[in-house]
Chain A
Amino acid sequence: MPLDTQSAIIEMQGISKRFGPVRALEEASLTIHRGRIHGLVGANGAGKSTIIKVLAGILRPDAGTIRIDGQEVTRLTPALVEKLGVHFIHQDRLLVPTATVAEAIFLRHEPRIGPFLNLRAMRRRSAELLKHYFDLDLPADALVQDLTTAQQKIVQITRALAQEAKVLVLDEPTAALVKREVDSLFRVLRRLRDDGISVIFISHYMQEIEEICDEVTVMRNGTDVGVVDPRQSGIDEIVAMMINRDMGEMYPARSVAIGAPVLEVQGLSRDGSFRNVSLTLRAGEIVGLTGLLGSGVKELVQCLFGLDRPDAGRVAIDGQEVALGSPVQAVGRRIALLPEDRRAHGVAMGLSIADNIALASMQRYAKGGLVSAAKEAAIVDGLIRDLSIKTPHRHNLVRNLSGGNQQKVAIAKWLSCQSRIYVLDEPTVAVDVGAKVEIYNLMNRLAAEGAAILLMSSELEELVGMCDRTLVIYRGELIDEFTRAEADTDSLLAAASGAARKTARETA
């Protein structure tokens, strides 16, 4: 019987979801056909993960209808979704590390004989499934923690297949895989598709989308902006659909004389994260750094701040080679890190504004071995005024500030240290637009005062608007550099997702 690839297995229509004032989804629709591999793409914040969470029954939509297998479902729960045959392969592999392969596959669907587990059937059937779908001879008694990442991914998929999945939802399935493993995963997906199973494939990697998907839904600003056939449309068109082109006047103009090199990095490598990265940061310069999740960009920043040790390479500050073995040394070299997870690493939530600001530069506040309240008050109040941190008093707890003001406290901490090199990791994540502009102004002021800034961001508009140069990391290598004139969101995204390199395009 020929497969009916026209009939829809999943129809989501007019889905809206708000979180307070933020509209995450606005009249979004998603239709998945039987026996097809369906790509879901969109920039950060476009609503991909929200619509997937709605489908998973984790979030309840404010409006919209969902039909699965022709049946309208009003109250989706994770258990119901699974019963209807929709299975989610999470990005972080949710398997019990101390379970065996057979146990991981059959957990909660264990075959039994009377009151006893049928351990033999579990082992036999998992071996059969792995052989049948993946042509893999994985011992059913191996522990999950001893498997490679790709094998764990396969065990996860096998678990879904053992429960006779009709739809597999793969969230960034290739993020931790190497090329060879990606190829074999794709072979499996095609085979599953030919068996009539539908696949929802969420990926940042445009080449993979083009290679594997039969159709692609593009999302932007919380809604679907089109369904295309990637083989006819090509990557460029999809990327163009993803990008929001109307950028406001968010990015204040600036003109700063760029000075001498402050931070020079030569051939920095860390096994398994990034290779041979060289970059220079000059006084007064704002340099952007971007890369997809898993590209090694985070690890690079960690190394620069001394949180991780590089395996090879040199770092020089003001022309002098330095060892950055620990954050203490980095702070001593007047390097400042604004971590992405503000709540966990950026500020101490339970301390006051004053304590947070003084934290990394206590010696400035000391008087005869004690912290001088008068000195603290003077310096801290100055910074609060300077950065217009909105608070009644310096002794208020940081916990009670808004996200943007918390971020300003984190920056004030480094200003108090008189830092000269600022490594900013997603500094505007989860702050409102007004605070964003304030942070941008602050960055410009720091640069004008001679600081060097490395801005790591996955918000491409921000990089285009703020940076003198933007560096792109792809799969562990610094593959492209864009000047302010060259940088636009399309080409940055294309470079970061490996779709096209600037250099390649220039020679073409």
Chain B
Amino acid sequence: MTMTIAAETAAKPARARGALRRQGTLVLRLGALAMFALIMAWFAFTTRGFVSPANIFNVIEQTAVMGVLSFGMAVVLIGGGTDVQTGGIDLSIAANTGLCAAVYATLLAGGSGDLAAAAAAIGTGIAVGLLNAFAVVRLGILPLLATLAVMNIVAGLELTVTENQVIGANSTVTQLIATGRFLGLSVLAWIFILFSALMTWAIHYSRIGLRLYAVGGHPEAARAAGINVGAYVAGTYAFSGFCAGFAAILLVARLSASTTATGQLLLAILAAALLGTVFSRRFVPTAGGTILSTLFIGFLANGFQLSNVSYYWVNGVQGVLILMVVAVTTFAKPQGK
């Protein structure tokens, strides 16, 4: 609550603080970019094969799956607000992808048509998303807890579908996604580019995106402006479920099988989505930030692999990234809204 006299005496410091914060966020953005460039340069000079075109395209193709999922997470962060404790988050997205992949691969292996299998995968993803939405919006459970619970439900379901086996799957569509090329780029790369373009429009150049930012920024204000806040928040979880289903199709196509380790993607997805917030002066995910961060994390993991560093370290680095981003953005945000 701002007080009568508060305005008089605090007006100048407030403005000064605003200016300081603006400069601070600019430094932060440039710093993050510099860090990206530095790490990339280091890998380029020390790791053989890192800058080879084959490797770069390999990473971009790997990143297509991650990119779709990072956008799913980013949208949940935008609509739920980026408050670390109470804001939007979807911890079930990776496990959901695993379940969708299992459904997709099982159906293809069982002889279902491409369309039916894809519809089932995406339908499964959205259903899980709606379960999250119900828990968060209707039951009012903190997203952190609600999606954690759903993550476990979904992981259990995946095990019952796959019996913890790798299920091979092959069809004309998976073949096309995995090996198809168009204008010199692979189909996966094209999917990543088109999906990014679509998301850039939805987030930054559509009414939905603007209203979603308002919902996440200050739900009360959004409601006062006549926006159905609950529907928007529910929509973000449904969308993140859709992303899980879509990513599952790409994943199965790339590996010609469903794998049992999809849940491990969560850390990378979270790191990419949160890192993406650093590139916005509002500390909210942006399309550009999400793309950049996803690519960075993809190249980071790839660099580690090529330098023969154990995969376990990659997890550690992603964890540290999450801690850093959350600490820095929490510190740089204006106090008390």
Contact = CB atoms under 8 A, between A and B. Distances in A.
Given A94-B224, A143-B281, A271-B10, A296 B3 contact: yes
A107 B3 contact: no
B226 A112 contact: no
Contact of A271 (B1, B9, B207, B209): B9
B183 interface: no
Contacts of B10: 271-272
Given A107-B211, A143-B281, A272-B6, A99 B224 contact: no
Contacts of A97: 217-218, 334, 337
B207 A117 contact: yes
A149 B14 CA distance: 10
A108 B225 contact: yes
B7 A181 contact: yes
Nearest to B15: A148
Given A97-B337, A107-B210, A117-B206, A476 B4 contact: yes
Contacts of A64: none
A175 interface: yes
A449 interface: no
A149 B2 contact: yes
A94 B226 CA distance: 12
A295 B4 contact: yes
B22 A146 contact: yes
Contact of A273 (B6, B218, B221, B284): B6
A103 interface: yes
B3 A299 contact: yes
B11 interface: yes
Interface string B34-46: 0000000000000
A95 B219 CA distance: 10
Interface string A73-100: 0000011001000000010101111110
A422 interface: no
B214 interface: yes
A19 interface: no
Nearest to B207: A110
Given A90-B224, A112-B207, A146 B4 contact: no
Contacts of A272: 3, 5-6, 8-10
Interface size classification for chain A: 35 or more
A427 to B, nearest CB: 21
A94 to B, nearest CB: 4
Interface in A48-93: 78-79, 82, 90, 92
A176 interface: yes
B220 interface: yes
B6 A176 contact: yes
B213 A177 contact: no
Contacts of A94: 218, 220-221, 224-225
A445 to B, nearest CB: 34
A99 B213 contact: yes
A115 B7 CA distance: 41
B277 to A, nearest CB: 11
Contacts of B205: 115-117, 119
A503 interface: no
A275 interface: yes
B213 A98 contact: yes
A17 B204 CA distance: 45
Contacts of A36: none
A7 interface: no
A395 to B, nearest CB: 30
B217 A96 contact: yes
Given A271-B10, A272-B10, 8 more contacts: A94-B224, A99-B214, A143-B281, A176-B6, A272-B8, A294-B2, A295-B3, A296-B4
7 closest Cβ pairs, A-B complex: A146-B18, A272-B6, A96-B217, A476-B5, A98-B282, A98-B217, A178-B8
7 contacts: A92-B1, A94-B220, A94-B224, A116-B205, A145-B337, A177-B4, A181-B7
